[in-house]
Structure 1
């Protein structure tokens, strides 16, 4: 992988995610108030972008409830703290098969399959500056869960996101997902500048070794803007690796709950450490306003 360090870098903080982390750390935000506070905390620590999922306030489980998204956005906007909001559009593509011997019907306890318009309902109403587009299908974990995003679904969602005037962050979990992203771009469904997130180390997607990251980076078009992250203990080392590869940084409790061995992190802790890493190698951390200029975003709130 050629060494081409990022001299100007932005930090994304994924503040809560949809994983089963709330039982392992009381610092993972659950309610709209906690999620908004986490986004604000991350912004004050140096993150230009806050990546937002919402959770059921009673159970902590992932949710697509529009009212929860509405409240998070309202609270962040009312705070007066400047941060670019990136709302997930990944929910609604969750398929859990019944069992190896009886895969159908799907398990209703974990399956949540929705149409393109329903998956983007919160994006259509709230018009964030960025929303995610998970660019492919893959196995997740050791059970029967499949993250499901067919080419037809991706075309429909990409077209709708473009129509709404929202910048998609293309989530690449494996090498074939990059092929799908280029296919969408060739059809005019993704506008410039193209923004990509390389999601590494997630079973059973692209491993977080240097060779795989190098292969992905070298196959990105030169004018695409990318970030890269890994999960768990490799999150913070990957901040430095992403910089060395010419990319931007993502940290946050969605992907990793630890600051050090035995020390639970807050989102602010992880962002501050990412700022230290970036500045320690001579990079400058971009503000939300500078990121808007770079990504051609229009501030909504």
Structure 2
């Protein structure tokens, strides 16, 4: 069991959820406020996407990312910032010509995905470790793109969170480590329950955990109704956890949640297991992250929290 847990809140995501809940933040101001709300509820890390303020759809706007990050950094409440760098991989074959992307296809190069990270230098950013049948579309992330992206993240001095949606993604992340494209102890996020990747159950989480490098830090999440069960399971298996409206809209059946409520529910759950959530400062020290004020890497704490 992990006694000191990094609790991440993924506050908005990029999915088609805005019409399903009034609590999903859309504008940069709302997204920043959601991250601060999560921090006050006990989250260690805020995982951030941005959306088009007019439509609520996915956005890659550097201006939106900049506003969100600046608002969080100017706030009195501390939280570790984790920017998505996995957008721009959605491929939907055109019905008339399947060699071309159809409506809602959204592809970015590794350099385009990396641009907000390179300018804003968050403590963490995501690196999605492979392609996947993601629901009814294909998420496209070829191996050479991943190598290029890993080099960009490494050069920026930002720690990648290695998002793995299936066992093959864990395998490729280990390959990146062997090729020297990951610095320090790697940080994995096991993403469970997305059709058609890894299932959200104990057997799958355990199988993925058992394939991680010996020096890995890791977390896991489940989507929908599996969100809280996967929080408990990750902690019991020695990992960290993630909640938030990116992955689940409900506090219980028929009751829409806020990000703060989901963090509070997860924090209560782990505390009832005799576990505590790390503070943002402890998280930086545990993972060896960049201090947002000094710009220096916080010395990693081995064998405990700061």
| TM > 0.5 fold call | yes
Q: Tell me which of 143, 151, 154 is aligned to 2:143.
A: 151
RMSD value, Cα:
0.9
- 1:80 is displaced (CA, Å) by 2.0
Q: Secondary structure at the match of 1:23?
A: helix
Q: Residue 83 of structure 1 aligns with which residue?
A: 79
- Post-superposition Cα deviations, 1:204-241, rounded to whole Å, max 9, x if no partner, equal 00011211111111111221000001000110111101
User: 2: distance between equivalents of 1:221 and 1:123?
Assistant: 26
Q: Tell me which of 165, 170, 173 is aligned to 1:181.
A: 173
Q: Is 1:70 the equivalent of 2:62?
A: no
Q: Secondary structure at the match of 2:20?
A: coil
> For 1:123-162, what aligned pairs fall within 5 Å after superposition?
123-141=117-135, 143=136, 145-162=137-154
- Residues 201 and 230 in structure 2, CA contact (< 8 A), matched pair in contact too: no
Q: Secondary structure at the match of 2:189?
A: strand
User: 2: distance between equivalents of 1:104 and 1:98?
Assistant: 7
Q: Secondary structure at the match of 1:57?
A: coil
Q: Secondary structure at the match of 1:132?
A: strand
Q: Residue 297 of structure 1 aligns with which residue?
A: 289
Runs of 4+ in 1 over 6 A off after TM superposition: none
Gaps of 5+ in 2: 294-306
Question: TM-score if structure 2 supplies the norm length?
Answer: 0.94
User: 1: distance between equivalents of 2:213 and 2:171?
Assistant: 11
User: 1: distance between equivalents of 2:156 and 2:100?
Assistant: 35
- 1:41 is displaced (CA, Å) by 0.2
Q: Which has the higher contact order (CA 8 A, sep 6+)?
A: 1
Gaps of 5+ in 1: none
Q: Residue 17 of structure 1 aligns with which residue?
A: 13
> For 1:91-102, what aligned pairs fall within 5 Å after superposition?
91-99=87-95, 102=97
Q: Residue 112 of structure 2 aligns with which residue?
A: 118
User: 1: distance between equivalents of 2:99 and 2:149?
Assistant: 26
Q: How many residues align?
A: 293
